[in-house]
Structure 1
Amino acid sequence: MSQLLRPVIIALGLTLLWQCIVWTTDAPRYILPGPLSVIATLIEQLPLLLRHAGVTLAEILIGLLLGVVLGLISALSLATWGGLKRWLMPVLVISQAIPVFALAPVLMLWLGYGMASKIAMATLIIYFPVTAACFDGLRQTPTAYLKLARTLGADKRTQLLQIRLPAALPAFGSGLRVAASVAPIGAVVGEWVGSSTGLGYLMLNANARMQVDLMFAALLILALIAVSLYFLIDLIARRLVPWQSDTLNSPTTGRSRSR
């Protein structure tokens, strides 16, 4: 029950802080609208917001799926073929040295102003964290497990599927959490550069028209999507790795600290 109340209390606290800032600064409505004004606009413009939110959510989910699949394939390839690491790893590092946001205009030029360019942005921003996290997990498989498997006659395929992949699941789960956090960034930035639908487009358009209430309402919807996606991925990751205990909530941690 406390886990359900905690997000509600945090949300109420942030809303109260927001309202206090509005009262203290006496900011005009077109600069910083109050939470009640934003909620009223959210209810009034809900059909419009949901229509644009559906486009952004589709871009995020497709980009997340593609980024995770490509990242997993790349990590497995790097772990399976040692020679590939010397060629692919520098490419991955160089790809991260170039800001993904700087590629947005190029992707718009190549893929157009539709969903394809936004999906590509989300995929690119997700790909490296998933690849790096999964590859690290595969590299850090306990050597004793692999030696025992070889002693029992397990081939490389069996070692990969039954030992290395399960051992890499905690790191892979961490990569998925990071991917869920950054996935909306790629889609929204792509919509800012050029689009006619989506929450990013709606926010940019509302800002140009000084409809700050609508911009904040779209931002709240986007934040709700991002938070929901993160907790969904976190739940899936916990189900995939049931043997990994939460050290923050572990009773042994509490006892060790009390000492």
Structure 2
Amino acid sequence: MTDVRLDAVESSGLQAEGAARARLVDSVRGLPSWAVAGAGVVVIVVVWQLVSLSFSPAGDGSVPAPWRVVVTLVQDLGTGVTWNAIAQTSASAGLGYLWGNLIALALAFVVLLLPFSESLATQLAVVASCVPLTAIGPIVALMSPAQSRITSVFLAALSVIFTTTVGALLGLRSASATQLDVVRAYGGSRLTELRKVRLIAAAPSLLAAFKIAAPAAFLGAVLGEYFLIGVDSGLGLQLLAASATNTSLQIWAIALISAGIAGLAYFLIGLIGRLLTPWSSDGAGKGMA
């Protein structure tokens, strides 16, 4: 009897613990997204501070204290040199983002119109994803004229092709079979299916792919600036200069600027996607992520 009572007490305790955990999970899920994001930032800053203290008690070592990086960041943003670098890198990223997405959409449309080309198109997208950017960058730089930003644009475009191609194919193939049958019954061609049905069905997945590709394009543009010849402005070049002088505060400040711009691009395109496709409830975005 004693064992039975102990088992009953233990079972009720486990049930109470499980219920408490469920309530905690539900309460966290009920929090607004800005509160969760803010809590995440606080955790990152606390961990950053602890790591900084473990490397250098004074907070000025290879992992500087967060407040020192923020001071340097504010000082940098107060100069025209930094804003010019941001503008140059953002322009290269934007141009690469445009070209990369156009190439990816062209590959996806070709696959839909000519199904036998799927193997070749997907292989091209996979190759674009697998090619090491640090290996292809110097080759593109040698083939580019001096004082041009072609390498930065090229690496930005290369960084988005695979993501957008996959998102476009998933979206274009998610069209309703019934709607496609109606188009075919009225004599519509594959191009008509694409225009009338598939593009509308693909909108959520396409916008989710665009959202994910935006930070990749920016970071690809920053990396491409490592190989530029005859160009003296850009966040990547500032990172190189700071690394050469071993200025850790400058390196961390530029890294935060780059991360902030990439995150802003992700947020803005996601916001545009929610406005244009409110029916999707970001389901496609979650599937892509």
Which TM-score tier does this pair reach, normalised by the shorter chain? 0.7 to 0.9
Q: Determine the structure 1 residue equivalent to 2:196.
A: 162
> Which residue, 5, 15, 19 being the options, matches 2:49?
19
Distance 1:166 1:35, change over 3 A: same
> Which residue matches 1:240?
276
Q: 1:13 to 1:87 in 2, by over 3 A?
A: closer
| Residue number in structure 2 paired with 1:209 | 245
Note the residue ranges of structure 1 that are not aligned, 5 or more in a row: 248-259
Per the alignment, residue 252 of structure 1 pairs with: none
SS at match of 2:160: helix
- The residue identity in structure 1 corresponding to 2:92 is E
Taking the aligned partners of 1:98 and 1:5, their CA distance within structure 2 comes to 39
Q: Tell me the matched-pair count.
A: 248
Residue 176 (structure 1) aligns with: 210
The alignment yields a C-alpha RMSD, in angstroms, of: 2.4
For 1:58, the equivalent position in structure 2 comes to: 91
SS of the counterpart of 2:280? coil
- Select the structure with the greater relative contact order (CA < 8 A; seq sep ≥ 6): 1
Deviation, 1:32, is 1.5
Deviations 1:128-182 (A, max 9, x none): 2212220232233232221123234544333211211111222212321221131
Give the number of the structure whose alpha-carbon radius of gyration is greater: 2
Tell me which amino acid in the other structure corresponds to 1:34.
A
Task: Pick closer, same or farther for the CA change 1:193–1:30 going to 2, 3 Å.
Answer: farther
Equivalent-residue separation in structure 1 for 2:193 and 2:280 (angstroms)? 21
Partner of 1:224: 260
Q: Secondary structure at the match of 1:243?
A: helix
- Residue 110 of structure 1, CA deviation: 1.1
**In structure 1, distance between residues paired with 2:151 and 2:55:** 40
CA 1:44 to 1:98, structure 2 compared with 1: closer, same or farther past 3 Å?
Answer: closer
Counterpart secondary structure, 1:109: helix
Counterpart contact for 1:30–1:210, Cα < 8 Å: no
CA distance in 1, matches of 2:206, 2:282: 16
TM-score by structure 2 length? 0.77
Partner amino acid for 2:47?
A: L
Hey, what does 2:175 align to over in structure 1? 141
Percent identity reads: 28
Alpha carbons 1:74, 1:131 under 8 Å: kept: yes
1:33 partner amino acid: P
Aligned to 1:49: 82
